[in-house]
Amino acid sequence: MSDLEKAMMAKIGNGVRLEALDEMTPEYREHLVHLMTMQADSELAGGYGYVPWITKAPIVEEKHVVAQIVKDELRHATVMYGLLADLGVDVERHVSAHDEIFTMRIDRDADLGTKRITSDKRVNIFYYPIETWADFIFFNFCMDRGAGHQLEDVRHCSYGPWVRAIEGIFKEEKFHIRHGEYWVKKLADDPATHDEAQTTFNKWYIRTMNIFGRPGSPKNRRYRELRLKARDNDEVRQAFATEVKALCATFGLELPEWKPRWAELPEEAHIPG
C-alpha cells in the first residue's frame, strides 16, 4: 500500500471526507468518476425524456410542474458534470459524443432486464419511452423514489463535494416523488383509470427493481470499503421495495412479482449503487 493510499484510507476510516484530487488514489478517482458519470448521464437523459410532457400534460398547472421537473433534472446534470470537470473529466467532449444517444429510446415492448445498450452511462431504465401520462406518473413514483434511496448513500459518502451537491438535488427529488404519489392516488382511486394505473405500475416497478444491481457485487463491496457506498445493492433494493409495498396498500394497488436476472447483469449496469 502506497503512502497516499495509507493516508487516504486513514482519513476515510476516521470519517474525514476527501476534498481534492491530490488526496485520492487513481483507483478511488476511477470509481468516483464512474459513479458520478452514471448519475450525471441519468439526470440528463431523464430530463430529455420528460420534455415532450411539458406540452402533453393534461392541464396547464401540470405543464408547469413538468417544466419544473425538467429544469431540476438538467440542473442536477449540470451540477454533476461540474463536479466531474473538477476531477479532470472532459465534460464537453463526453456530452457532445453522446448527445444524440441521450435522446434515444427503445421500442415500448422491449425488455432490457438489466442490460445497458449504449456507450453512455445512464441507468438503463432511461432507455424506455414515456408514452402516456400514466407512464410519466409511475416513472416519478418508482424511479425517482429508487434514485432517492440510492442518493441516500451518497449523502454519507467520503467525497465532500459530492455530499454537499447531493443535498440540493435530494430536496428536489423529494418534490418529484411527492408529485408522483399525488397522481398515483388520483389514478388508482378513479375506477376509470385504476386498471391502467395497475398495468403501468407493474411495468415501471419491475424496471426500477432491476436498477440496483446484484447482491454481493465485488465492485459494490469495494465502494463500501472506500465509503463511496454505505450499503449492499440488495439492501437498497429492499428498502425501496418495502416503502413501495406500504404505499400500495394505501393506494389499492397490488405489488407485482419481481424476479432477479443476475445472469445477464454485467458489473455496474445499474445506477450508482
At residue 176, the pLDDT reads: 93
* 114 contact partners, CB below 8 Å, separation of at least 6: 124, 210, 261, 262, 264, 265, 269, 270
- Look at residue 272 and tell me whether its pLDDT is greater than 50: no
Q: What is the pTM of this model?
A: 0.92
Residue 118 backbone dihedrals phi, psi, to 5 degrees: -130, 175
Residues 181, 111: Cα–Cα separation, whole Å: 25
pLDDT in tens, 196-241: 999 999 999 999 999 998 899 999 999 999 999 999 999 999 999 9
SS (H, E, C) the chain: CCHHHHHHHHHHHCCCCECCHHHCCHHHHHHHHHHHHHHHHHHHHHHHHHCCHHHHCCCHHHHHHHHHHHHHHHHHHHHHHHHHHHCCCCHHHHHHHHHHHHCCCCCCCCCCCCCCCCCCCCCHHHHCCCCCHHHHHHHHHHHHHHHHHHHHHHCCCCEHHHHHHHHHHHHHHHHHHHHHHHHHHHHHHCCCCHHHHHHHHHHHHHHHHCCCCCCCCHHHHHHHHCCCCCCCHHHHHHHHHHHHHHHHHHHCCCCCCCCCCHHHCCCCCCCCC
Q: What residue segments make up the domains of the chain, in order of their start? A: 19-103+124-264
For the domain covering 19-103+124-264, report its CATH number. Answer: 1.20.1260.10
pLDDT in tens, 118-140: 999 999 999 999 999 999 999 99
At residue 237, the pLDDT reads: 96
| pLDDT band, residue 261 (cuts 50/70/90) | confident
Q: Which of 5-9, 10-14, 147-151, 201-205 has the lowest mean pLDDT?
A: 147-151
Altogether, the residues listed in the chain come to a count of 273
Residues 186, 59: Cα–Cα separation, whole Å: 14
At residue 268, the pLDDT reads: 46
Q: Which of 100-104, 162-166, 184-188 has the lowest mean pLDDT?
A: 100-104
Cell of 156: 454519507
Among 223, 239, 214, residue whose Cα is nearest residue 152 = 239
